Structure 1
Amino acid sequence: MLKKRELVECNELYELLSHPTVFPYVRQKATSADEYWFMTKQLMEEEAAGAAISRTITDDWGQVIGTISLFDIQDGAGFLGTWIGLPFQGMGYNQKAKHDFLSELFFELDFQTVFLRIREENVKSQKAATKLPYVVEANDTHPTLLEQINAGEKKFKLYQIPRDLFYLVTANADADAAHEAM
């Protein structure tokens, strides 16, 4: 489902991200496969320096379908960015990728919180975020951060995934699954 980024995947990923319904919402706005390769190489270097974390999302058969990354890492927190190619949307990959990535961030890498900034016009991503029981709106609880992310032309809604809430939700889900298995 998730694997470390590899440059050999760039052509496939570029084809998926360049679709007109996906491209407006990706962070790395490459206009060619070569440019995307270069951006991915930079991102891998940022990960080696501790400034970002990025994984490739694969489907059930190992085909690359998108990416999930944590950007702007600072003080045990960062901003989550996820995109999945159009043919693979609506199949549950987003939720599974987020669960696996957040588990790595919170329980292996000791992050405390993860933020999501979602463009106001991106209703599809807002709905996807609010479906996750560990995501909470953070516009009111982090007004300074909200102001910072909305300083530019594009306007965002701010969401937060606190480590403790993620743990409670996933622990309860695991306990429920174990109970049902009995």
Structure 2
Amino acid sequence: MLGSKRFESIKNQGKIIFNSRFLKNFSSAERYEFLQLCHRRKYKEGEFIYYQGDPGTGMYFIEEGKVQLIIEPEADSEKDDFIFKLESPESFGALSIGYELRRFSSAKCMTDCILLGFFKPDFETLKKRHPAIALKFMEKLAMIAMKQLDITTKTLQEHTGKVEAYSLQFQSYYHSKKESI
């Protein structure tokens, strides 16, 4: 029989995965398979999980504690840091699984934290073991990325105009297309 500490840990992990907004469209069986690939990590209050500009290597689910995402402005900017606070059962860093992105923010623990990490090698394992779940995961990432692109484009359009906002999309597409040839 499982010890009470181990049972409580598994129960807490299950609560996170089953209450996650990120995984809400996954079946219970799919969430269970996903949970099997997550790694439990402990962090102390004030400890950084990663820094803005680091290569993205994985995503995290908050099991216990509070995390702040900090976006630091450019050195010559007079703006203050932007801080976004998260707690259980939220997740962060998901786009780093499917895309070669550097971190947009730093992630720092506001309290002692227990996080479930899901990293690129775990995604590779998921693809081999359960390709349908991996596909569903990538579809979720694509939906998040497209939503962010839509919001960003609309905001950019408000500040610069339609031509400038959409021409950036065309330019970036055709520039990246030439590089991949």
TM-score (norm 1): 0.28
Query: Could you tell me the TM-score, scaled by structure 2's length?
Result: 0.28
**Greater RCO structure (CA 8 Å; 6+ sep):** 2
